[in-house]
Amino acid sequence: MEKERTHAKTWEIDRIAWVTLVSIVILLVFPLFIRSPAFLQFMILILWYAYLTTSWNLVGGFAGVLPLGHATFAGIGAYTSSVLFVHYGLTPWVGMFAGALLAAIVGVILGAPTFRLRGAYFALATIAICESLRVVLENIQKFPFLGFDINGARGILLPLRGHSPINYQFLDKRYFYYIILVMLAIIFYITYRIARSKLGYYLVAGGEEKEAAEALGINVAKCKLIAMAISTFFTALGGTFYMQLVHYIYPRGIVSLDLSFEIAFIAIIGGRGTLLGPIVGAILLVPAAELTRTYLGGSYEGVHLMLYGAVLMAVMVFKPRGLMEPLEAFYRWVSGKFFPQPLLQTEKGS
């Protein structure tokens, strides 16, 4: 029997490994067959949202809280790297890590008091923080004591350098595609490792039953702050990536509740607290939202958020654990039908 269980486990790992390998190969060769820059930009946005949502999932999924202001940290990353590049000539490859470190520090400082709040109060606090930063950025032309301009509501336009890899600027969109693909792979791997570590188990325990976890000696607040630091660090890197992609940011375009809500909705609909849920949510929802925003955004602003809301309500009613639940069931059915596990003949006496 032990040999059967070992063989079954090895077979399952091999099957998952093959599926993962095939997916990686498809993603790597995909840009080689795409000639349309617009379609490639579309794919980049899907990967970008998947990246942001996976970063959010460390706190909003495993830690059991509902942050609705994560665009704050994307904005910190975008503005920090942009200011350092425009006013001090520092390459965004370095500035992005300065912005990410600043975002992690701010995330821990804000998380220390707000993690004491429960339920809707925590969500409302994160909304207030995001809106406060947006209002500040819209109404400040020049930072006091530091002397550099951020142009208030007009935003920051990056000086163009043509094809300049050292300045994180590329004329070919495929470079951005591979960069965000690598970023997504890194945050996915980090999430995978955390989910299967003590920190991951502590986060889940603290999110579901905080008092019981603390009674067992788990420092729930410390675990959540660690997750917050990691989540905000990588979210800020995503903010810098977006700035380099579009070359222009303004407060309402990056530090907005729209972006914060999109990140949360994609994770919840895809499967909050699961590894693949954020990616599945981004693949299914971002194309629909972008098409809606393109064709209806001029006449009906915010209609893509209405779409998210409608899908969210349907998922909460019929599949409260997200779309990963039926997709996992479908995957098991397909695997069992087309890749059946070989029957084993057990030895006598085993």
Any residues with CB less than 8 A from the CB of 342 and at least 6 apart, and which? 11
Show me where the domains of the chain are located. Answer: 8-337
Q: Which of 256-270, 304-318, 319-333 has the highest mean pLDDT?
A: 256-270
Tell me, what's the pLDDT at 127?
Answer: 93
C-alpha distances (whole Å) from 10 to each of 6, 7, 254 are: 6, 5, 45
Tell me, what's the pLDDT at 49?
Answer: 95
Tell me, what's the pLDDT at 348?
Answer: 39
C-alpha distances (whole Å) from 32 to each of 255, 276, 285 are: 34, 25, 25
Average pLDDT over residues 185-212: 89
Assess contact for 99 and 240: CB atoms under 8 A. yes
Q: Does domain 8-337 have CATH number 1.10.720?
A: no
Q: Which of 47-61, 187-201, 299-313, 316-330 has the lowest mean pLDDT?
A: 299-313
Average pLDDT over residues 240-261: 92
Instruction: Give the rounded percent of residues in the chain with a pLDDT score beyond 70.
Output: 86
Q: Which of 8-17, 202-211, 271-280, 312-321 has the lowest mean pLDDT?
A: 8-17
Burial (Cβ within 10 Å: 0-12, 13-18, ≥19) of residue 292: middle
Tell me, what's the pLDDT at 275?
Answer: 86
Tell me, what's the pLDDT at 290?
Answer: 79
Average pLDDT over residues 271-297: 83
Tell me, what's the pLDDT at 293?
Answer: 73
Tell me, what's the pLDDT at 335?
Answer: 67
For the chain, what is the mean pLDDT?
Answer: 84
Structure confidence at residue 322 as a pLDDT band (50, 70, 90):
confident
Tell me, what's the pLDDT at 214?
Answer: 86
Average pLDDT over residues 145-153: 73
302 has pLDDT over 90: no
Q: Which of 46-55, 111-120, 222-231 has the lowest mean pLDDT?
A: 111-120
Q: How many other C-beta atoms can be found within 10 angstroms of the C-beta atom of residue 110?
A: 19
Assess contact for 87 and 159: CB atoms under 8 A. no
Exposure b/e, 154-184, CB count within 10 A at least 16 = b: ebbebeeeeeeeebbbbeebeebbebbbebb
Structure confidence at residue 288 as a pLDDT band (50, 70, 90):
confident
Phi first, then psi: give them for residue 118, nearest 5 degrees.
-115, 150
Average pLDDT over residues 211-222: 88
Average pLDDT over residues 228-252: 94
> In the chain, what's the furthest Cα-to-Cα distance?
82
Q: Which residue has the higher pLDDT, 145 or 59?
A: 59
Angstrom distance (rounded) from CA 194 to CA 200: 5
5 has pLDDT over 80: no
Angstrom distance (rounded) from CA 165 to CA 51: 22
Tell me, what's the pLDDT at 289?
Answer: 79
Instruction: Give the rounded percent of residues in the chain with a pLDDT score beyond 90.
Output: 42
Exposure b/e, 251-269, CB count within 10 A at least 16 = b: bebbbbbebbbbbbbbbbb
**pTM, to two decimals:** 0.87
The pLDDT tens digits for 50-84 are 999 999 999 998 888 889 999 999 999 999 999 99
The pLDDT tens digits for 171-183 are 989 999 999 999 9
Q: Which of 37-46, 101-110, 316-325 has the highest mean pLDDT?
A: 101-110
